[in-house]
Structures are given as structure tokens and as C-alpha cells.
Structure 1
């Protein structure tokens, strides 16, 4: 007996399957034809060149110049990765954090370091809920109340430097790197939590240990990171209980952070119960745990983890940016004099306001250039969760000479949002894009349209739904601390010191002689 419907269905299914296979084959073929540098190692791919370069970008920026705004590199074990700095592609990726999610490797590290209830881990509705709760504490109106707090932090930093210099000659180099990290941690503690971290050395030391851990760079560390997605979650979590220094540092930080968060929660809950209006992030979040409305509700577990995430994400990148600012000032004494004169002329009354700080044109041009050249996070990894097509601003010429205007990518594809490389794109910033040149922000040559990020068309704070929630906070903190340091000190580079720009989670200054995070400067008091 014939079954025409069954036969037709089989034929249709077979044809559809064949077309689907052809389509997927073409997608894979296109990816294989995207140009990129040759790899000499199946085991490491290009990861050694990207991560272990003496100065970050030694290879990446040359590859971008040679292969364009989208090219292909190899990860460990022969994995294909797309390096993306094309503005149109970046907007498409950053505006869709469902299709372009954080990579599995990143997510597991965040989970073990902070937890799976924090804003830097969750997606979708939970991410929107937490962000909406936190937004008032990072609004422009609240940021305008912070300069006096940041000035007190700067004053404490200056006092510490004065004490440290009492036993040294004025021309003896002083390593300012770790003291800047303590100051940035202090700024977040005071402005976000109403918590004086300088009175809690165990808290400060636990974050110093994390900084030491994140600064480790080696071929072994590259392979360890590459293996993370392939290790069952329960085994990876269990490894955090091993008696290794890395696991101890992470456990110590989580224990200290959870204890402090609990103490702050109980204290602030009492003051809010007495009618105090919530202002800082801590108060806003404590109030959210007391809410009866699901849309504005935050659990105590979320509260603790969000506090830890804000501290980790906020203090390290800002401290490193201030360090690089001082490095460039020490390299270029003419910038120092120009900025110092502007600061002394315009900041003449008490604590500066945000309006006062924003009116310092040369200081802000200098800061923008520091943020452009030394993006705190140079790369942000994404992993595609469903097949899609990425649009391009300019066509790519494949290795076979074909011109393509979009790139089809399959589920699972790894994509690197190349923040630092975008900040140095010649089509965006001009032929001198690799040069440190603050005057570009004053002569009208910087593009003001089609911005990706929230500040100065820079990608440093990312963009889209995952844009850095604390970018205004960071800018104001840097404005205050840099201006106060310039009021009090001259900065010069020691003749015998060579500083390298390494990537170790963030971009950090490293002494070439020791390989350790360090920024020795000759710091002389302004009389």
C-alpha cells in the first residue's frame, strides 16, 4: 500500500536536512576563510602572544593593522576565535547579551570568586532587576555628592606618602602602585558602603592577595584557564577547597567580604528602620531586601555578592588607570605643568564640585587619553548561544578573495570584544591612534557621533546592556585624586626603572626587572 503523504514527508525532511547541512557548511566555510595570523602551536594557539607579550598589544595591534577590524586567531587546542573591533559589529554584539553571553570560562571564575547571584553573573530578568535596584546609587545626582568624599581619600593617600617619605631622600623612588589600590578601595568603601577600609587591615589584605593572584601570568595559567570549561562544575567548585595559595586567597576574600557585608547590612538596616533616607548603594540595596515588591526585591545573598562584585570590579581598574595617569605625567613633565596650572587656577574654593572638575578641560582631555590608551579591561570574551549573523561596517576580504558584508556564526563560537584595539582604530582615531596625545580631545578631531560606550566614544566602560554601571563614579574619583596629587607633588621616572604594560585580568604596570606589579616614581613635594 502506497503512503504518498509519508513519502512526501520523508522527501521534504531529507531535502530540508540537506539544505540545512549545506547552510551550516557554508557558515563554517566562511569562518574558515576569515583571515588571521598563522599559529605555530595547536596547544596554545595565539594565547601566548596575546597574554604573555612584554607589552600588551605588541602583537594584537599589529594584527589589527594587517588583517582589519575582524580577524581570526587560535585559542588553545585549535579553537577558532574571532577578534572584533568593527564598530557596527560591536554594537550588535553588546546590545544582545542573550545571544552573546559571557564565556563559560568567565562565568565559572565569577561564580567561584563572588557567587552566582551577583549582577556580573546573572542574565535576563535577574540582571535587569538588580541593575534597576542599583541605578539610583550611580545616578548623576548621587555622583555629584561624592567629590568631598574622594578628596578625603586623596588626603589620606597624601598623608601616607608623607609618612613613607620621612625616612627616605627626596630623590629615592617610591613604589606608588599598591598605595593607589588601597586608596581606590578606600574610595569605594567610603562612597558606596560608608565603610572605612583603612581601619580594617584584614579587608585590605584580602583584596591585596586577590591582586597578587590575578597578576600571575604563565603558560601554565593559560592552559589552566583553557581547561576550565571542560571540567565538571562540581569538580571545579571542589578545587576551590584545595590547600593551594590561589584557593586560600579566594576563600579568605569571600569569608572577609561576607563578614563585612553582614555587619554592614545589620547596621544599615537599623538606621533605615529609624527613618534615614537611603542614599548610597549600601542603603539602596538594604532597602531592596526589605521590599515586598518582587520587581524591587533583593535577597540577602544577592546583597552580599553584589557588594563583593562592585568592590572587585571597581577598585582594581580605577587604581590601575590612576597609576597609568601618573606614569604618563612622569614621562611628560609638560603635561604636569599644564594640568597643575589649570588646577591651581580653577580649583580655588574648598572642596571641588563635579561642575568644577568637568570644567578642567586639559585634565579631562588627559584622562580621556589615559582611558583610551590604557583600557582597564583590554578584551571582553563572549560566547554565542544561538546561530546568528554579525553585520559589519566595512566588508571583509576572505582568504579566497570573496567579499563579505556580514559574518554568520554558530552556537558556541568564541568572540573577543577587543576593547583596547577598538580604542586604537585608525579609522576612528586617526593615523596617530597608537600615540598618547591628549590634545586630540581639544582640537575637534575625536568623533562625537555613533558612540559605542557611555563616555567619550571610548569602549573602556563597554556599552549596551552590560555597560559599566559605575563609570561616572570612576571618572569623578579619578578627577579628584589626580588633581589633588598634582597639587601636592611633582612626578618623575627613575632613570634605572623600565615599566612594561602587562595584561593580568586588567592592564597593569610591571617592573621589567622583577616581573612584579610595580610603579616606582620619584615623588617630590610641591613647595
Structure 2
């Protein structure tokens, strides 16, 4: 009860202005609207309806009466994402990042340290370096194809395969090869530690919602002590940190020794970071702790979201065989000879339209939480109309206000995407029925990779990985939904496919070799 009392004492009462903003009525003071947002059978069942009813900015209740603003207004989002000091990551997010990875990572630090780390890491995610990666991703895709073909050997008409975890293995291997020059499949313990982390984010429950709400109010020493309790969660996290540190330290020492001998060590992220730890320039120097945490952050953040995007792509292709055949024909025709390069993949009109629609409908991270650190005024692109008919053109917010950057909802704004915004419709990207102005994110006017100074550093990496792996899988296999498919779209930190019957991450498809 103590954290709850502290919460109530610290929480500001809502300003009279905030009370004017419309929103749904909550039936629970304890949970607010969090059960509807998090425990919905399919993510967005409530949120997208609320957006349609109340507009691009509305308020909901968090746990224990907390006021939260749900924001998808493009002008407001640009303002919020342009200043990560006033609109800082929420305290829940910061504490989870600190315990999972550390407090020297890109996702935790601010200001000058954030700029320094980002500048050090940027070259390994630049367009010029990404252009060199198709052969790396092709190698990973070939290994996945071989694995699935082996599983198919005793079947002549296709077999039911749960492909969820093997896609995550492939994405983890892509990160390992392209970021570290390391085949993660040679270290089963390393792979298992990431499988275990994935299981931690999957369970959804009322108690999990309350634990998340109380995290900011638990004293740091208690939170850190809890990490050493004999629970499966703490053991999985500690094991992952230990194994990751061991692997990155071995790679660090190997690259460092190569550099000392005067040999070239490459341009991947790990090599760039090793060079940064040896730099004499303070503005370009990285500590060993920052090095280790940077690698762990990229692996955790990068492999899960990309694997889930590929999973959702295959799910939609299994639902829509006409898309599947169209893409297969395009791939086999335009990538028929030689080793395709970056430009070859970028020229696949139908594949890229399909990918954009996957990333629009299934944004990996559906919401990004922010907390206001200084009183400010948020501008709006369209006025909010209150119950009394008043038009609000800007929103004053106080220090401590919680704001949800509603990524998935922004990607489905009817004023931007049309009345069919909730439909999966790749043709919109070919017909030109997509927004071409007011872009916030770096790719296709989507917010999937966020924007501003916190834009996803690996967005180009993710796009190419999806292009290459999807192309190879479609070249070799057809995908069909089983008769009794019960896949739901759940939020478990990221958007994942979950079997309704078991509640576990899963994507069973009938996979058949292309003859």
C-alpha cells in the first residue's frame, strides 16, 4: 500500500483546462482504462474506436485515477518528439530499461550524452553501410529456408509449422551477423537467453498492469534487490545480462587485439564501438560500459520488432493468397538472376507497398509513453471541440503529466488514410491514397519508427532485413492459414501474434515448398 499512498500524495490534481478535454468514462479507479488498452483481445479494439469518437487528442485514466493524454495529432506529435528533455520517457520505461540493459544506453541517457552516443553509432546504420548488407541477410534467409525445407522432407503437401520462434532466431542471427560479425546460432545459450526474455513480455494480466503502474514508486534499492530474488523473471534477466556481457567482451577483446596489430576490423556497429572506446577525442569516446550496453540494446530492440513484422507479413499473406502470388511473381521475375543489391529490393513495387502496409497496420511498438518535465503548451493541427462547444487550439500541460504517443493510432488516422484506415490494403501505396505531407517518421509517413531525435536508429536496417528475408521465403514456400486459426494481435511490449487458446506467442501456418 505504501507505493499507492506515495503515488496519491505526489499526483497533481488535474487542471481545470485538462478537464475540458473529452474522453471515455472509466468504470474502475484502480485500473482506469488500462485493462481496455492492454488486455483487449486484439490491440486497438477500444483505442481506435475512442480515437474515432473523441478525436486525435483525448484523455483516459491510468491506474489509481491518473490522467493520461492520448495523442495522435501530427502537429502535437512533432512538438512532443522534437524535445526529449521536456517530453522525457516515462519513469516506468526508464526503470525497466535501467534494470534490463543499464543506464548508459541510448534509450536511457539524455542531452549531450545521447547526442554523443548517437553520433558514435550512426555510421553503422547509415545508408552507405546498409547498402552492403543484402548478402548478409541473404545468408541468414538461406539458413532459415534450409531449416524449413528439412522440416518439410517427410511431407509432400505441406505441413503445419509454428514459425514464430524460428523467425525470431533468424532475426537474432541477422543482428548478430550484421551488427557484431558473429553467428549467434553457434552459441545456443545466447539464443535461449533471448527466448526467455521474450516469454517475460508475453503474459498479460490485471496484476501485471498494477505492477507496471507501481514501478515508479518503488524505491530503487528495493527494485534492484528484487532482481536477485529466485523468480523466473529475475533469473532470465540476470542470465541474459551475464551471457550477453560474456559474448560482447570476447568480441571486444578480439577486435581490440586486431586493431592493435594494425589490421582492419570492418565497419559494423561492434567494430565502430571498439574504435570509439580507444579514441582520444572526448566527443567521440565511449566507455566499456557504454559499449556493452549499446550492443545489448540494439540486439534486444532490433531483433524482436523486426521478427514480429515478418511474422505479421506472413500472416497477412496466408490470409490473402492473391497478394502472396502477386509478390512471388514479382520476386521471381525481378530477382531472377545474380545476387540482388539494395536497389533491386527497393525497386520491388508490390513487395514494398505490402511491407509499408504491414508496418502501418502492425506498428511494432504501439505506444510510446512520455512524461512532462516542465510546464509547456502543446500546439494542435485541429481544434478539440469540448462538450460545451468550445474550440481548443492548444493544450497547456503541467510538469508530471503523462502523455501517450499513440503510434498505432496515428498510423490509422481516418483524416490521413481515409475511411478504410483500419483495413489492410496494400494497394493504397500504389494508388497514391496515402499522406504526402506533415511527415513525422523517417519512412513512408509512418510513425512506426518514431521521429525526432529519438527516431529508431536502425530503421533502414529493419526495412532491408524484412525485404530480403520475405523475398527468400516467398521464393521457396507458400503459406496458408490452418482451418481453425485463432491468432490474436496482442500487445506484450510489442505487437505479437498470440494463440487465443493458449495465450502464448505463436504463428501456426501451413508451409508448402514451391515446386
TM superposition score normalised by structure 2: 0.96
1:412 to 392, 395, 400: 400
**2:70 counterpart residue number:** 83
CA contact (8 A) 2:159 2:512 kept: no
Q: Helix, strand or coil: the match of 1:442? A: helix
User: What is the 5 A alignment of 1:212-223?
Assistant: 212-223=199-210
Q: Helix, strand or coil: the match of 1:173? A: strand
**Structure (1 or 2) with the larger CA radius of gyration:** 1
Is 1:460 aligned with 2:448?
Answer: yes
CA contact (8 A) 1:492 1:523 kept: yes
User: What is the 5 A alignment of 1:253-402?
Assistant: 253-273=240-260, 274-276=262-264, 278-402=266-390
Check 1:171–1:484 CA distance in 2 against 1; reply closer, same or farther (3 A cut): closer
Matched residues, number: 503
CA contact (8 A) 1:490 1:524 kept: yes
What CA deviation, in whole Å up to 9, does each residue of 1:186-216 have, x standing for no partner? Answer: 0000000000001110000000000000111
User: What is the 5 A alignment of 1:44-443?
Assistant: 44-167=31-154, 170-273=157-260, 274-276=262-264, 278-443=266-431
- Report the CA distance between 1:397 and its aligned residue: 1.2
Measure, in 2, the Cα distance between the counterparts of 1:277 and 1:286: 9
Is 1:488 aligned with 2:491?
Answer: no
**2:491 counterpart residue number:** 503
Measure, in 2, the Cα distance between the counterparts of 1:261 and 1:380: 29
What CA deviation, in whole Å up to 9, does each residue of 1:43-65 have, x standing for no partner? Answer: 00000000000000000000000
What CA deviation, in whole Å up to 9, does each residue of 1:379-410 have, x standing for no partner? Answer: 00000000000000000012333211000000
Measure, in 2, the Cα distance between the counterparts of 1:338 and 1:325: 14
Measure, in 2, the Cα distance between the counterparts of 1:192 and 1:306: 11
Q: Helix, strand or coil: the match of 2:450? A: coil
**1:29 counterpart residue number:** 16
TM superposition score normalised by structure 1: 0.94
Q: Helix, strand or coil: the match of 1:509? A: strand
In the alignment, structure 2 segments of 5+ residues that lack a partner are 1-11
In the alignment, structure 1 segments of 5+ residues that lack a partner are 1-23
Measure, in 1, the Cα distance between the counterparts of 2:113 and 2:314: 39
Measure, in 2, the Cα distance between the counterparts of 1:386 and 1:260: 41
- Report the CA distance between 1:450 and its aligned residue: 1.5
2:435 to 432, 437, 447: 447
- Report the CA distance between 1:350 and its aligned residue: 2.4
